[in-house]
Amino acid sequence: MPTDDDHPARAASQRSMAAVEAGDRDGWLALFAPDAVVEDPIGPSMFDPEGGGHHGPEGIAEFYDTVIGPNRGVAFSIDASYACGDEVANVGTITTTLPDGTRAIVDGVYTYRVDPEGRIAALRAFWEADAIRFEPPAG
């Protein structure tokens, strides 16, 4: 993945991933536009039974607090990144270390759309729950 901020949506995605990896809840939430939506994954899931996404500051904060925050860590490995218009699609793997040390490994496509100010207007994740790979805690 390009490491320079050559495209506003790619730059926003890089800031988002860095904040999540650092456990920076407030920094991550500050990246979003007031009317933003997070769909991770898109459609009904264990994180969003109705499949409507997490909307606005309160909904996105709740997503962070229930899906991201309780874990030991999250790491991103992006293999390819395609920026067009006001969006970017990152192809890669997210590895989440769960509270018990188990690692959940998810391959997918992660898209970010930004508003004119460069804030994230939509974060959408394409991945399949049945394809999650689990690795037991190390040691």
* Pick from 2, 54, 47, 46: nearest CA to 28: 54
- CA-to-CA distance for 78 and 20, rounded, in angstroms? 14
With respect to residue 30, please indicate whether it lies within any of the assigned structural domains.
Answer: yes
3 state DSSP class of 49: coil
pLDDT digit string, tens, across residues 44-55: 999 999 999 999
Per-residue pLDDT, 6:
82
Per-residue pLDDT, 85:
96
Per-residue pLDDT, 5:
59
With respect to residue 138, please indicate whether it lies within any of the assigned structural domains.
Answer: no
Question: What CATH number corresponds to the domain at position 99?
Answer: 3.10.450.50
- CA-to-CA distance for 76 and 33, rounded, in angstroms? 22
Which amino acid, residue 53?
A: G
pLDDT digit string, tens, across residues 31-42: 999 999 999 999
The total number of structural domains that make up the chain: 1
Is residue 3 predicted with pLDDT exceeding 90? no
pLDDT digit string, tens, across residues 77-132: 999 999 999 999 999 999 999 999 999 999 999 999 999 999 999 999 999 999 99
What element of type H or E holds 130?
A: none
Mean pLDDT of 52-79: 98
Is residue 4 predicted with pLDDT exceeding 80? no
Domain span at residue 81 reads 8-125
Distances (CA, A) of 138 to 69, 95, 97, 125, 134: 21, 14, 11, 27, 12
CB contact at 8 A, 23 and 112:
no
